[in-house]
């Protein structure tokens, strides 16, 4: 492959998730073959996104408006805030049509290995929001991992004194999960979180 520009483009694309050096080169080739229909519109869209997309100062979501769509939409439930680790988790939860409350993106989990301490997470902002009279429930939707739950417990400690109900997502069987294929940890948490069934 010749040309510093092509090499540079391939190197940058290879940094994206799901792309390695070879697949990045295939993507570059496709872009160059469809210069007018793909490459220029993509470059334009990237520039516009770089200029227009910002972190919401309230919840940490990525959006073109400030505050973001979730924080400014008056139709959303102001009394509940769902706390997630990352914007990707927010997008996943947004697919759940039963939840129409607001969100708060922590920006990661406590992790000594990655050098993420409490100061690197948006916990102070969450505590400020929880102190608001309109907020009644904080839903902790961090991962069911040691780091995710350690972060959740830390957030709970920080919310001490706030007049809110704190809940967390249930841990257990996934929909469509067959017991035989589940790991011991998932089965254990599912068993611990079993619920009574009403008899007819």
Partner 1 sequence: MQWTDDAIVLSARKYGESAAILHVLTPEHGRHAGLVRGGAGRRQRGNLQAGNQLAVTWRGRLDEQLGSFTVEMTAARASHWLDDPGRLGALTAAAAVVEAALPERESHPEVYGDFCALLDALDQDPEWARAYVRWELALLADLGYGLDLGHCASTGVTDNLIYVSPKSGRAVSADAGAPYRDKLLALPDFLRADAGGVPPDAAALTAGLVLTGHFLSHHVLEPHGGHLPPARLRLVDRLSLSATTSGI
Residue 18 binds to partner 1 (criterion: CB under 8 A): yes
- Looking at beta carbons only, is 59 or 152 nearer to partner 1? 152
Measured from the CB atom, the residue of 120 and 137 that comes closer to partner 1 is 120
Does position 188 interact with partner 1 (CB under 8 A)? The reply is: yes
As given in the structure block, the two tokens for residue 184 are 């011991």
Residues in region 93-122 near partner 1 by CB under 8 A: 110, 112-114, 117
Cβ 20 to partner 1 shortest distance, Å: 8
Nearest alpha-carbon partner for 90 in 122, 113, 119, 112: 122
Binding mask 56-95 for partner 1 (x = CB under 8 A): ----------------------------------------
Q: Which of 33, 145, 163, 177 binds partner 1 (CB under 8 A)?
A: 145
> Which residues lie closer than 8 Å to 127 by C-beta, 6 or more apart?
158, 159, 162
Listed in sequence order, the residues at least 6 apart from 174 whose beta carbon sits closer than 8 Å to its beta carbon are 186
Range 129-145 burial, b when 16+ CB lie within 10 A, else e: bbeeeebeebbbbbbee
CB of 29 to partner 1, least distance (A): 21
Tokens 């973001």 belong to residue: 68
Q: Which residue has the tokens 């227009």?
A: 52
Distance CA 98, CA 109 (A): 26
Name the site residues for partner 1 (rule: CB under 8 A): 17-18, 20, 110, 112-114, 117, 144-146, 149-150, 153-154, 156-157, 171, 183-186, 188-189, 192
């Amino acid at each position: 492959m010749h040309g510093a520009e092509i090499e540079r483009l391939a190197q940058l694309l290879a940094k994206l998730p799901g792309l390695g050096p070879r697949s990045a080169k295939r993507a570059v080739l496709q872009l160059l073959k469809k210069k007018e229909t793909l490459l220029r519109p993509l470059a334009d869209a990237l520039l516009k996104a770089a200029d227009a997309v910002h972190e919401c100062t309230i919840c940490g979501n990525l959006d073109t408006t400030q505050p973001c769509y979730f924080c400014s939409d008056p139709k959303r439930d102001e009394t509940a805030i769902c706390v997630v680790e990352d914007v990707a988790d927010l997008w996943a939860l947004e697919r759940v049509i039963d939840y129409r409350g607001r969100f708060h993106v922590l920006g990661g989990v406590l992790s000594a290995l990655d050098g993420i301490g409490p100061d690197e997470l948006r916990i102070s902002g969450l505590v400020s929001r929880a102190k608001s009279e309109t907020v009644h429930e904080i839903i902790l939707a961090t991962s069911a991992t040691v780091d995710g739950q350690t972060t959740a417990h830390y957030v709970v400690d920080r919310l001490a004194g706030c007049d809110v109900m704190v809940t967390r997502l249930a841990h257990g069987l996934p929909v469509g999960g067959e017991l035989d294929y589940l790991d011991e940890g998932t089965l254990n948490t599912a068993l611990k979180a079993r619920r009574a069934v009403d008899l007819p």
